[in-house]
Amino acid sequence: MASLELPPPPDSIALRADELFAKHKHEIYVHTDRLFASLMVLQWVAGILFALWISPLAWFGTVSRTHVHVWAAIFLGGAICSVPALLGVFRAGEPSTRYTIAVAQMLMGALLIHLTGGRIETHFHVFGSLAFLAVYRDWRVLVPATIVVAADHALRGVFWPQSVYGVLVASQWRWLEHSAWVIFEDVFLFVSCRRSVADMKDTALRTAALEHAERESSLTAAQLRITQQQAESATRAKSDFLASMSHELRTPLNAIILYSELLQEEARDHQQAGPMKDLERIHSAGNHLLGLINGILDLSKIEAGKMTLALEQFDVRAVVTDLASTVAPLVQKNANTLVVHCSEDVGPIHSDLLRTRQILLNLLGNAAKFTRQGTITLDVARRVEGGAVNVVFVVTDTGVGMTEDQQRKIFEPFTQADVRTTRKYGGSGLGLAIVARFCSLMGGRVSVESQLGRGSQFTVVLPVDVAAVVDAALYAA
Amino acid sequence: MPKILLVEDNEASADALARRLERRNFSVVIAPDGHQAVSLARSTQPDLVIMDLGLPGIDGWDATAIIKADVDTRHIPIIVLSAHAMPNDRHQALAAGGDDFDTKPVQFERLLEKIEMLLTTRGVSASASDI
Amino acid sequence: MFSRKPFSGLFRRGRVWLGALLVLWFAGVGSGLWAVWAYDNRPGAAAAAPSHWPTGTALASNPSGPTLVFLAHPQCTCTSASVDELAEILARARTKPRTYVLFLKPANVANGWEQTDLWRRAAQLPGARVLRDDEGVEARKFGVETSGQTLFYDKHGTLTFSGGITGSRGHAGENAGELALISLLTDGRADRRATNVFGCPLFAETD
């Protein structure tokens, strides 16, 4: 497994990796200790069975006694196996446990070899034991094991040289060969253990890094949720604010407008011409203020995403005709002429009636406001553009027009073409901003073309079926 | 002359509207909150109620519902007034039992039309004569 | 033995106890193994074999070549290794000797007592004559006391080798006796004339 090219981990990850590695190591020690505890018992039993099978009795002429090997298998075997088995159960994971197990394992091997009369197969026990001990992945356990094997050979070679290999000359080569096999296996297992440990460390590091990343991402997720909640509560606060401000602003205005109208009526009753003009000014100011407030509240509602559309089917021609009469006084105020071209097949439209009227009223009102002794034209037609059916309203005037710069900013709130324009022509600078937003809310669009001194042309395109075009969340059918 | 119960907590608004209505030959009783609205509706038995929604104590919704639930007063038409003018308000008002809905600031002529219509359907003769 | 938590306070003491226990254990077990090895390596009583083919034996020596006499206790499991070694020797010998395998049958034992697995294996040795030695008469003639004793008499009837052919009790594998006999049967010489014999005593002390 290629090692990942990572930058050096921050301390927290490195520490956690060490922790995980130590934990994993310990788990392996405990697990293997328990395994060996069972193995010890198994070997003990095997030893007894071997002794009983191979050399159950020792004979002295006609007298037989239980063979020494049987007693050895039972008691010596039991002694060899008991301590490591108990340690494996009660002190699993301790270094002393596994070193004891290593020693006991090889001693048991020596015993088993004797009990089986030196069968060649039993010698395999040595190699098997070493390999099994490597399951600990701690190369150090191989050391006492190898020492025991070596000591066994050495001691027997010293005290009972015959028992080891017989003729001395041959034995030296033998000894070398046996040692070579054991050393070879030791080296192999040593390398294998080291490799395993390196892998374990690597895994621990990756796991720690992964934990860290997961924690970060869940932190981020939590933060995101908090931010989202904050945004939501901010939006809710805004709507609540809107709701209460709406009420707060309109209530006194209600009184102002009502009183001014009342006083005007009473003055007319008592034929008092004096206060009439003043009262008219109050009334007019009140209405102006109302217009501003409505505009601001509308805009805020749209911005807060709280503006919902009320969709209904209505006849465009009828609405246009009605609007024409509504704006007539405004048009006449500046001695303008209104021309309406509404094609016969415009038909019905499924949209927000109130908002559509608002849009058209605003555009027509603007046209009337900025034109003197000119012509205001309203063209209404049904148009099919690439699969979408729209109704197109074009308001053209022969008024003052706008510069290119003014055209660019005209749909932004509070930018009238010019500050001077506001003072000269009145208005709040909100109308077109609201028109633009209403248009887009209904899935349509508005655009302007103008020439300074020659006039302006506003084009509004609205889909015939708003519901088909716009996200359902925005409207209440 | 037809009697109107005007439920409005803002004194100025109440006074201005009441006086304008009186000029149109309505007699007007003012209730400044929901409780009094309910009890005055019962006791004075007006021909129409104009209910402002932003009331202290019991709000306009509940007052409307109570008046409409009460045997003695459920026949009285109610116009609900709201300064909020959100689409929901109209539905909510009508659902609570209101007979009509209008926005504040009041457009007097429009309100008059609604009053006339409701009184006519109830068979109460309304003298909506202009002076 | 020691569970961790209760002894964490007495950690040092626990450690010392454990250490002492392990040392004791190792010493005990080591001694035990030592004893087993000692037993396995304790030679049986050597044979006082006559240096010339004894008279009065039912066996006939081989005038044209060497004679091997192998004596065994039919029930002795250790001798199994010796039989394996005998097979090995006979297989590797250049000169095939006349081979006698005698199995002791003491008095007062049932018939067929001596017909053990050892007998059957011995019978399969090439050129071996397997005989029953009633009451150990022949064994005594040859002065043999331990099962697994092997005697080598040359064609002149001179005792050339007397000893065991296993390294230790019941232990198969290359050993001095085996090598000596092979050498004798191949080159006619050996580096030793006697080895220790490991096996059950043929006669109980009371015999």
- Domain shared by C89 and C26, yes or no: no
| Domain assignment present for B53 | yes
The band of A35, judged by pLDDT with boundaries at 50, 70 and 90, is: very high
Strand positions, DSSP E, A108-236: none
Say whether both C13 and C94 belong to one domain: no
Q: Are residues C97 and C10 in the same domain?
A: no
Contact call for residues A55 and C170 (beta carbons, < 8 A): yes
Does a structural domain hold residue B102?
A: yes
Q: Please, what is the average pLDDT of chain B?
A: 84
Q: Is C159 inside a domain boundary?
A: yes
On whether both C160 and C79 belong to a single domain, the answer is: yes
Rounded Cα distance, A174 and B118, in Å:
124
Claim to verify: residue C77 and residue C177 sit in the same structural domain: yes
In percent, how much of chain C has pLDDT > 70? 93
For residue C58, being part of any structural domain is answered with: no
Q: Are residues A251 and B13, on separate chains, in Cβ contact within 8 Å?
A: yes
Looking at residue A345, what DSSP letter applies?
Answer: G
Q: How far is A261 from chain B (nearest CA, A)?
A: 9
For residue C138, give its domain range: 67-186
Q: Give pTM, 2 decimals.
A: 0.57
Cβ atoms of B42 and B88 closer than 8 Å: no
Q: Do B16 and A262 touch (CB under 8 A)?
A: yes
Subunit contact B84:A243, Cβ cutoff 8 A: yes
The domains located in chain A, with CATH, are 7-306 (no CATH), 308-476 (3.30.565.10)
User: Hey, what are C14's tokens?
Assistant: 């626990």
B85: chain A residues, CB-CB within 8 Å = 246
- CATH of residue B76's domain is 3.40.50.2300
Report long-range pairs for A62-69 (Cβ below 8 Å, ≥24 apart): A62/C106, A62/C108, A62/C109, A62/C204, A62/C207, A63/C204, A64/C75, A67/C77, A68/C36, A68/C39, A69/A114, A69/A115, A69/C36
**C2, C23, C33, best to mutate vs chain A, most A CBs in 10 Å:** C33
Same domain, C27 and C75: no
Question: Has residue C77 been placed in a domain?
Answer: yes
Backbone φ and ψ for B84, nearest 5 degrees, come out as -85, -45
Q: How far apart are CA A15 and CA A102, in angstroms?
A: 31
C-interface mutation test, from A30, A119, A156, A167, most C Cβ less than 10 A away: A167
Helix or strand run (H / E) with residue B29? strand B27-31
State the Cα–Cα distance between residues A99 and A84, nearest whole angstrom.
Answer: 9
The answer to whether residue A157 scores a pLDDT higher than 80 is no
Q: Which residues of C touch A56 (CB under 8 A)?
A: 77
Q: Is it the case that residue A170 has pLDDT exceeding 50? A: no
Q: List pLDDT tens digits, range C188-205.
A: 888 888 888 888 888 876
Chain A residues within 8 A of B23 when measuring between CB atoms: 262, 265-266
Q: For residue A171, name the pLDDT band (cuts at 50, 70, 90).
A: low
Tokens 């297992």 map to which residue?
A189
> Neighbouring chains of C at 3+ CB pairs within 8 Å?
A
One domain, residues C92 and C160: yes
pLDDT, tens only, A380-401: 999 888 888 899 999 999 988 8
Considering only the beta carbons, identify the residue of C39, C172, C175 that sits closest to A117: C172
Count of C-beta atoms within a 10 Å radius of residue A13: 20
Name the nearest CA neighbour of A141 among A232, A36, A275, A295.
A36
> Which of B6, B8, B20, B21 best probes binding to A when mutated, by most A CB atoms within 10 angstroms?
B20
Same domain, C76 and C36: no
Give the H or E element holding residue C153: strand C149-153
Asked if C147's CB is within 8 angstroms of A160's CB, the reply is: no
Rounded Cα distance between C31 and A111, Å, is 12
> Is-contact A417 A410, C-beta < 8 A?
yes
Question: Which residues in chain A have Cβ-Cβ distances shorter than 8 Å to B109?
Answer: none
For residue C200, tell me if it sits in a domain: no
Mean per-residue pLDDT for C54-62?
84
Instruction: Indicate whether A225 pLDDT > 70.
Output: yes
How far apart are alpha carbons A255 and A212 in whole angstroms? 64
Pick the more confident residue, A457 or B53: A457
Give the mean pLDDT of A131-151.
92
What pLDDT, in 10s, does the model give residues C63-88?
A: 888 999 999 998 888 888 899 999 98
Q: What's the structural domain count of chain B?
A: 1
Position with higher pLDDT, A477 vs A100: A100
pLDDT grade, residue A415 (50/70/90)? low
Partners of residue C202 in chain A, C-beta under 8 Å: 61
Indicate which CATH number applies to the domain containing C168. Answer: 3.40.30.10
Question: Which domain does B45 fall in, by range?
Answer: 3-121
Q: Are residues C34 and C100 in the same domain?
A: no
In a domain, C172, yes or no: yes
Name the pLDDT band for B128 (thresholds 50, 70, 90).
very low
Please name the member of A57, A162, A165 whose beta carbon is closest to the beta carbon of C75: A57
**B54-81 confidence digits (pLDDT tens):** 787 788 888 888 898 888 888 899 999 8
- Touch C-B: 3+ C-beta pairs under 8 A: no
Domain contains B83: yes
Q: Residue A385 has what pLDDT?
A: 83
- For the CA atoms of A426, A431, A433, A439, what is the dihedral angle to 10 degrees? -160
**Are C18 and C95 within one domain?**
no
Neighboring chains of A (3 or more beta-carbon pairs < 8 A)? B, C
C-beta atoms of C106 and A100 within 8 A: no
Q: Does A169 touch chain C (CB under 8 A)?
A: no
Q: Does B131 touch chain A (CB under 8 A)?
A: yes
Q: Is residue B106 part of a domain?
A: yes
Is B129 domain-assigned?
A: no
Contact present, C139 and C202 (Cβ < 8 Å): yes
Which of A246, A311, A361 shows the shortest CA–CA distance to B85?
A246
Residue A303 has pLDDT above 80, yes or no: no
Contact C181, C165 (CB under 8 A): yes
How far apart (Å, rounded) are the C-alpha atoms in residues C149 and C201? 10
In a domain, residue C132? The reply is: yes
Does B111 map to a domain? yes
pLDDT at A476 over 70: no
Cβ proximity of C67 and C185 under 8 Å: no
The B residues from 11 to 40 touching A (CB cutoff 8 Å) are 12-13, 16-17, 19-20, 23
Chains A vs C: touching, with 3+ CB pairs under 8 Å?
A: yes
Q: Show which of residues 457-476 on chain A sit within 8 Å of chain B, judged by CB atoms.
A: 476
Average pLDDT score over residue span B35-43: 91
Total of domains in chain C: 2
pLDDT for position A137: 93
**Helix, strand, or coil (residue A63):** strand
- Contact, C122 vs C103, CB < 8 A? yes
Same-domain check for residues C152 and C97: yes
% of chain B with per-residue pLDDT over 70? 89
CA distance A333 to chain B (A): 23
Instruction: Give pLDDT, residue B45.
Output: 92
CA angle B94/B96/B101 to nearest 5° reads: 35
| Test the A interface: residue of B11, B91, B102, B104 with most A CBs within 10 Å | B104
Instruction: Judge whether C125 lies within some domain.
Output: yes
Domain membership flag for residue C192: no
Element of type H or E holding A244: helix A168-269
Residue-level pLDDT at B86: 62
pLDDT at B129: 42
Q: Which residues of A touch C172 (CB under 8 A)?
A: 117-119
Q: Are residues C88 and C174 in the same domain?
A: yes
**What is the C-alpha to C-alpha distance for residues C48 and C145, in angstroms, rounded to an integer?**
8
Contact across the interface for A258 and B20, Cβ inside 8 Å: yes
Q: Output the pLDDT for position A53.
A: 87
d(CA B5, CA B2): 10
- Note whether residue B130 is domain-resident: no
Model confidence pLDDT, tens digit, residues C153-198 = 988 888 989 988 888 888 877 888 888 899 888 888 888 888 888 8
Query: Which residue spans within A217-293 are E strands per DSSP?
Result: none
